[in-house]
Amino acid sequence: MGFSTIAIHAGNEPDPATGAVSVPIYQTSTYAQEAVGVHKGYEYARTQNPTRAALEKNISALENAKFGYAFASGMSATDAVLKLVKAGDHVILGDNTYGGTFRLFNRVLSNYGVEFDLVDTTEISNLEQAFKPNTKMVFVETPTNPIMSVTDLQAVSDVSHAHGAKVVCDNTFMSPYLQRPIDFGVDIVVHSTTKYLNGHSDSVGGFVALNDEKDAEWIQFIQNSVGAILSPMDSFLVLRGTKTLAVRMEAHDKNGRQVANFLVEHPKIQKVYYPGLTSHPQYELAKKQQKGFGGMVAFETGSLDNAKKVLERVKLCTLGESLGGVESLISHPASMTHASVPVDKREKLGITDGLVRISVGIEDIEDILEDLDQALSYS
């Protein structure tokens, strides 16, 4: 079956009790049991919930994975995956990763004896040199947030597996419609379902998709033991969102390309970060492993003052955290999404005070461009 067919039907079987086409919101904390130890597959809502189970089946199918687990946030999903490593283990982390992921490694996991090194994984030679005898995992994000660097997933998988390390990919920016990391050898995929999978800026959640049965059993055990589960209502909202994922991502991709091309030609913009530009250093790789280039664009205004002027002047684009909603969202990475990253590391990566990131929505492109044009007309 095609992607859209899977997105609409996987996990979305009509409700056997009523015939409801949409999976019901099973807003319950517990389930009646017929006798001691005799039940219908559901005992307690932290452990199982039919709405969450439907979503887990749905996104797993979209990521071409056998197993999937929904969490309360993207960070709780990432944290669950990182519980596959233990004290004394070493993890290679892509250097241009989401600020929250860096914070989790730097401020939390480091307190529990997990070692990690930040590595520019766009160059496979850097990755090869970073392995240690105790390296157990390689965690990448591609394209990266917010510089949009692209990592070769097949090459990373091949090298990592040769060293006995698992590969984890944060696929939030692309969604499974534009990129399926497991098809390139990646072991585990994580998402912030808050973003494109939900797509409507009304839910916070996370997801882990994988094929290894042993690792899946552990992730499920962590999900139940820690209890960072996605609620029935949020599961319903994300399940609603994935039904239109294909058409939304096509629109985000189309608008993203036009915004990037507009910014490249604008005299006040010094640099544009978008893998769909032929000037992007990994443009050919992006074409190879992605179905499209998406709606995430970052651009350099030259100074904090210039960035503030743009962010204060926008009218259609909403200044705020997050991304992936149907509406265009604009942000200042240095003070928002990546504020937890030390200044020297931010500047080295190109996350300057003048950098602005836009999550291009699916509004009429003429309106988006007009808003950016007027926002950039400051003196």
Whole-number pLDDT of residue 172? 98
The one catalytic residue in 152, 170, 187, 353 is 170
If asked whether residues 221 and 353 sit together in one domain, one would say no
Q: Sorting pLDDT into bands at 50, 70 and 90, what band is 134? A: very high
> Is 170 among the catalytic positions?
yes
For residue 123, what are the domain limits?
3-243
Distance in Å from the first CA to the final CA of the chain? 54
> Is 98 among the catalytic positions?
yes
pTM above 0.85, yes or no: yes
> What's the number of domains the chain is made of?
2
Mean pLDDT value across residues 179-187? 98
Interior angle at CA 199, CA 196 and CA 203, nearest 5? 105
Whole-number pLDDT of residue 202? 98
Q: Please write the tens of the pLDDT for every residue from 192-243.
A: 999 999 999 999 999 999 999 999 999 999 999 999 999 999 999 999 999 9
If asked whether residues 71 and 166 sit together in one domain, one would say yes
CATH of the domain at 196: 3.40.640.10
Q: Please write the tens of the pLDDT for every residue from 246-255.
A: 999 999 999 9
If asked whether residues 230 and 278 sit together in one domain, one would say no
Whole-number pLDDT of residue 223? 98
The one catalytic residue in 98, 177, 196, 274 is 98
Decide which of 219, 243, 267 is a domain's last residue: 243
Asked if the model's pLDDT at residue 292 lies above 90, the reply is yes
Length reported for the chain: 379
Calculate the average pLDDT of the chain: 96
Backbone torsions φ then ψ of 297, nearest 5 degrees: -135, 135
Report CA 229 to chain centroid distance, whole Å: 17
Q: Please write the tens of the pLDDT for every residue from 54-84.
A: 999 999 999 999 999 999 999 999 999 999 9
Neighbouring residues of 371: CB distance < 8 A, sequence distance ≥ 6: 314, 315, 316, 317, 328
If asked whether residues 307 and 211 sit together in one domain, one would say no
If asked whether residues 86 and 230 sit together in one domain, one would say yes
Whole-number pLDDT of residue 64? 98
Decide which of 209, 243, 277 is a domain's last residue: 243
Interior angle at CA 328, CA 323 and CA 329, nearest 5? 50
The one catalytic residue in 57, 195, 257, 291 is 195
Decide which of 243, 258, 289 is a domain's last residue: 243
What is the 3 state secondary structure string of 344-373? HHHHHHCCCCCEEEEECCCCCHHHHHHHHH
If asked whether residues 149 and 264 sit together in one domain, one would say no
Tell me the C-alpha to C-alpha distance, in Å, between residue 5 and each of 46, 242, 244, 284: 30, 11, 10, 29
If asked whether residues 122 and 220 sit together in one domain, one would say yes
Q: Sorting pLDDT into bands at 50, 70 and 90, what band is 40? A: confident
If asked whether residues 144 and 182 sit together in one domain, one would say yes
If asked whether residues 220 and 90 sit together in one domain, one would say yes
Which DSSP string do the residues of 201-212 spell out, in sequence order? S----EEEEE--
> Is 152 among the catalytic positions?
no
Backbone torsions φ then ψ of 94, nearest 5 degrees: -55, 135
Q: Sorting pLDDT into bands at 50, 70 and 90, what band is 126? A: very high
Q: Please write the tens of the pLDDT for every residue from 307-318.
A: 999 999 999 999
Whole-number pLDDT of residue 337? 81
Whole-number pLDDT of residue 327? 98
The one catalytic residue in 15, 31, 46, 345 is 46
Q: Sorting pLDDT into bands at 50, 70 and 90, what band is 158? A: very high
Q: Sorting pLDDT into bands at 50, 70 and 90, what band is 339? A: confident
